[in-house]
Amino acid sequence: MIKRITRESFETEDEKICIESLLGQQGGLKGVGYPVASTILHFAFPDEYPIMDFRVISSLGWNKPSSYKFNFWDNYCKRIRYLSKKYGLSIRTVEKALWKFDKEQNSRFNKCL
């Protein structure tokens, strides 16, 4: 079942079907939500898909939604891809930089409390 679901996800060119076919609530992989599905896609296609992470979301200046939907994930991917292209960096490098920025900002904030 896992091989069938991931194969179907990886073979489609429709990004909505690609991610949503992996999601547990869509009948895909049990227990898989957008962050894990994005991780699966990233390791299958590292030059195309970022890993969705709350620290990266925060660094983008966005609020983490109470539940993820396709439009949020799609906008996230587009924004990370844009930054990757703009700065000539890999998607993963952009993500790591944004993750580290949020981590450092929150560490500084927590020290002030």
- The DSSP secondary structure of 36-85, one letter per residue, reads HHHHHHHHH-TTT-PPP-HHHHHHTTPPPPSS--HHHHHHHHHHHHHHHH
Q: What is the pLDDT of residues 3-41, one digit of tens each?
A: 999 999 999 999 999 999 999 877 789 989 999 999 999
Based on the structure, what is the number of domains in the chain? 1
At residue 112, does pLDDT exceed 80? no
Give the pLDDT confidence score for residue 84 in this predicted structure. 98
At residue 67, does pLDDT exceed 90? yes
Q: What is the pTM of this model?
A: 0.88
Domain that holds residue 84: 2-112
Give the pLDDT confidence score for residue 108 in this predicted structure. 63
